[in-house]
Amino acid sequence: MSSSQTKRPLSSAKAGPLSGDIRVPGDKSISHRSLMFGGLAIGTTKVTGLLEGEDVLATADAMRKLGATVTRDEDGTWHVTGVGVGALREPDSVIDMGNAGTGIRLMAGIVATHPITTFFTGDASLCRRPMGRVADPLSEFGAQFITRDRGRPPMAVIGTDEAKPVTYTLPMASAQVKSAVMLAGLNTTGTTTVIEPKPSRDHTERMLRHFGVDVDVKVNDDGGRTVSLTGPVEMKAADIVVPTDPSSAAFPMVAALINPESHVTIRDVCLNPLRTGLITTLIEMGGDITITNEREEAGETIGDLVVTGKNRLKGIVVPAERAPSMIDEYPVLAVAAAYAEGETRMCDLEELRVKESDRLAAVAAGLEANGVIHRIEGDDLIVTGGVVPGGGMVETHLDHRIAMSFLVLGLGAEKPVAVDDANPIATSFPNFETLMADMGAKFALHS
């Protein structure tokens, strides 16, 4: 979203039972990677089910500027003709990544080991986010980075043509940093290795294999993983069916659970084991969620979710080791916790402080504005559930997940809940309002 775009306040009100058989947008993580990897492969990759949100469209434009051919058919099928690893061209202009944190960090990894200079910028939210966490390991390959203070975009990446392989231990589990290092290794002679303390999303490893890259993954004694690949590699075009995004499915799923007698089916959801932390947590809280029609597509597990609101949720302790598998879902989990009986403790949420906004602070402020009892202890968020008074205005900080989470909160609250700007939702879930309204959600422009 442009920082100059007029804000669009939106409110939600108590809805009653929700129902529907729905398909949320394609998975954002897989959509980003399908365009990037297709652009690095030899041949033409056909992509169906791509998320056509602003973040992913920014990645499509970035790959065009780097020399790939990226087109869309009228039926929504995308075609990406790649240039091959090592053959990216220097962009003629600045690449604007919009709000795409995943996009800019993974793109930095790709261009770091190509002998080109690339300038990246983004919207007001992205330009507040730290890039040092990827710039530091990518600099070890020989790339140079120029950023604003505290490592913030706009950012120039001066790639190297003499890349040296790196062994990098992640200070914390991060799929973005892991992926950036691995993608730099694609055009590096020798073996690049990433050691992660806890398993993070492995879409990059799975999709690289789908494109013909040999990726070695070992489980360490401490439960972490060592991931390595040997470059330079040649990637071969491989068609992709993008499953729907579990992070987007989270919103109708929680909305159904907090509204008694709801019954919602969510189709074709990515059920990668490193993405299902929220589903596991909600089931532990007593949520009635059934997985049906489970199958495999392009290395990913896919299935349908049948969700009903027949059980009252109960508070639990969400263990720290689950955080990497549901890091984007904590804001909407906090909403579920606001309706649960008793106390829910979400442990070790440090990573939330460096997302599109300081999500931990933003969630706490939104809960406060709507009368939900909560507290923060260190990096833990503790929510005491019950009746949600509502009636508050929530500042989204240009964060799509904060906006959607608190609109879900309002669907069961005593008074309507408003968010100061619904525009950022388009970055990941362009049809959120219409899809939810078709299920029975009540939204209205807030004056």
pTM of the model: 0.86
* Closest among 359, 358, 33 to 178, alpha carbons compared: 33
Q: Which residues contact 149 (CB under 8 A, 6 or more apart)?
A: none
Q: Which of 328, 348, 420, 421 is catalytic?
A: 328
Report the alpha-carbon distance of residue 407 to residue 52 in Å, rounded: 22
Which tokens is 433 given? 């309002």
Q: What is the pLDDT of residue 355?
A: 67
Say which residue the tokens 């799929």 belong to. 175
The 3-state DSSP class for residue 407 equals helix
Sheet order of strands, 215-219 included: 167-169, 190-196, 225-231, 215-219
| Phi-psi group of 217: left, alpha or beta (phi > 0 → left; psi -120 to 50 → alpha; rest → beta) | beta
Q: What is the pLDDT of residue 441?
A: 98
> Is 328 among the catalytic positions?
yes
Pairing of strands 300-308, 288-297: antiparallel
* pLDDT < 50 regions, the chain: 1-4
CA dihedral 16, 399, 373, 443 (to 10 degrees): -20
- How many other C-beta atoms lie within 10 A of the C-beta of residue 434? 11
- What's the half-sphere exposure (Cβ side, CA atoms, 13 Å) at 147? 22
Say which residue the tokens 């609101």 belong to. 309
Q: ∠ CA(428), CA(430), CA(435), 5° rounding?
A: 115
Q: Which residues contact 225 (CB under 8 A, 6 or more apart)?
A: 195, 196, 199, 217, 218, 219
Q: Which H or E element spans position 374?
A: strand 373-377
